[in-house]
Chains A and B, each alone.
Chain A
Amino acid sequence: MIDFLEKWSFFGGSVLLILIGLYGVITRKNLIKIFIGLSLMDTGINVLLVSLGYVEGGIAPIITSTINNNSYNFVDPIPQALVLTSIVIGVAVLALGLGVIIKIYEKYNTLDISEIRGLRW
């Protein structure tokens, strides 16, 4: 049981996060809550990407004077680089979305999408 959890908790947990986020985006009516859902999805996908590059007992892939040959067990650095990029993009989109939400609130005085004309779908 513990083995199973160790092996699948990263993967299953991140997929669960994505699904929770997607559920939030679909069911919530409040724009801020929708964006919290989107943020959860982003976090989930970042955890998933990091867990894909995880190596049991691996160390950070940095070559120093003591760690300088291939006998060491490095974790895969590429997914981590991807996650950095995707975090930055996620933050930018989130900031832009919140900015637009402020404008919508100024115009309609509500954040409920069922009350905003042009947002019902």
Chain B
Amino acid sequence: MVNLILIIALPLLAAFLIPLFNYINKKLPSIVVFLTTAINLLIIILNYNQIILEPVIIELGNWQAPFAINIYVGTLELISITVISIISLIIAFYNLNHSNFSSESKFHTLYSIIIAGIYGIVMTGDIFNLFVFIEITTVAAYGLTTFNKDKGYEAAIKYIIIGSISSVFLLMAIGFTYSAVGSLNMAVIAAASNLIDPGLVRIISLLFFVGIAFEAGILPLSIWVPDVHSIAPSAVSSTLSGLVFLAGITALIKIFFNLFADPSLYVFLMIIGAISLIIGELIAYQQDDIKRMLAYSSIAQMSLVLTIISVGTKYAISGGLFQLFNHAILKTLLFLTAGLMIKYAGSRNISDLGGIAKRIPLIAVGFSVGSLGILGVPFFNGFVSKIMIVNGSLNAGEYILTFLVLFATVIEMAYYLKVIQTIFFGKISINPHKIVKSYVPIIVLITVVFLLGIYPELITKPLNQATGELLSRSDYISNVLGGM
């Protein structure tokens, strides 16, 4: 077995060596990033069979559990890091040909750092370490946003202001947790959470929600999302939308299921999520800018995941998690293809993309596959997760929620099909710009979409196991702390 800490350490090492590589050869940084992401995928594959049998806990510095910062990789974390490594590899491959930024090596440095931060958020077992990794991710994301010279600075300022306010609330939550429990280890906090005053637990979890929901794209705190996602380069938008949101939601799930499993909080999450879902879909419907539309759709999808997970039954949780991973794959596909279409047409407006499918058919098909996947058409991966979500909410007796999910899907259908209709059957009115057509990432992503649509067992089996682990907190505690 290879030590899993390497998948955080390698991208960080690569990030700080990239200026040196850039000095040797201008082409080298992108290749180095590609290689590190490939090695990460390899490490995870080598460890896969062992982690699926029992969670792996790595204690840093050889200290015992409550004193050391530990890395906890259970089944949920395993699926997350597998999806993250696959997607980051695909985006790194895309960057090989598309790094047309004036200061390339800085871009690749920041991309490496953001990948390391995302792995860290998912795997860490210590709440202060969680804060540090969230800050690593967001600071790298602030930098990546500014790479678009056009409007990147305005979006970045917005992002920095909201991010700093949220991080203050996150720190406050961590401080209160520490003063109540006397430890920063997640397992110790989970073990002690029944002894804390329930009112304090509610305040702390609310503060955690404010601190992390900004990263996870839940609406009241994510007003930065449309600006940043639409303005950043498309490789960055897909990283932010696919991977950072995934990490944020995973962190929220850990806080609300492993740390403080208070059922009265789930109602709150459900209401916030449902409101955010409907508002996100309605705003997405009104957008004419294709990337803004995708960004609002991301907000809606994340809210859907949060809502359905907060139902709290086993079936609903695995449906929500499945949707989370589907969304990561589909939004990467959508943002990459949308970025290429925007570059080809030289415009962000949907109405200017008419008939683009006749000129660059494969890219348009990629976009349609992504859209149909999000809508949940049969044989696409979104179908299975949508079925699980609807089933899960019906079985739990949340009929209003089922109605809202279906209503949201109808709105979604309206705006995605509008785009598909425009790009396939609209009047051709583009003067084409030269683009580098990179088909490999698109084909790989389309393959993954159909693979998961036709053989959902690939992911549903580990997902059921992950849900089981999430719902049995005592196992988590005893895994980390041993017999204590």
Contacts and interface: CB of A to CB of B under 8 A. Distances in A.
Chain B facing A: main interface SS: helix
Contacts of A97: 157, 160-161, 164
Contact of B153 (A44, A48, A107): A107
Interface residues of A, number: 34
Given A82-B174, A100-B156, A93 B164 contact: yes
B168 A96 contact: no
Interface stretch (A1-9, A34-42, A55-63, A67-75): A34-42
B157 A41 contact: no
A119 to B, nearest CB: 5
A20 interface: no
A119 B157 CA distance: 8
B157 A42 contact: no
Contacts of B135: 89, 93
A78 interface: yes
Contact of B165 (A41, A82, A107, A119): A41
Contact of A79 (B154, B167, B178): B178
A48 B172 contact: yes
Interface of A: 18, 22, 25, 31, 34, 38, 41-42, 44-45, 48-49, 52, 78-79, 82, 85-86, 89-90, 92-93, 96-97, 100-101, 103-104, 107, 116-119, 121
Interface residues of B, number: 32
Interface in B103-157: 128, 131-132, 135, 139, 142-143, 146, 151, 153-157
23 contacts: A18-B172, A31-B157, A38-B164, A41-B168, A45-B168, A45-B175, A49-B171, A52-B176, A52-B178, A78-B184, A82-B175, A82-B178, A89-B135, A89-B139, A90-B164, A93-B167, A97-B164, A100-B153, A101-B157, A103-B146, A104-B154, A107-B153, A118-B151
B171 A86 contact: yes
Contacts of A107: 153
A100 B157 contact: yes
B343 interface: no
Interface of B: 128, 131-132, 135, 139, 142-143, 146, 151, 153-158, 160-161, 163-165, 167-168, 171-172, 174-176, 178-179, 184, 223, 227
B175 A18 contact: no
Contacts of A103: 146, 153
B139 A34 contact: no
Given A82-B171, A93-B135, A118-B154, 20 more contacts: A18-B168, A22-B165, A42-B164, A45-B171, A45-B172, A48-B175, A82-B174, A82-B178, A89-B135, A89-B139, A93-B163, A93-B164, A96-B160, A101-B157, A103-B146, A104-B153, A104-B154, A107-B153, A118-B155, A119-B158
Contacts of B151: 118
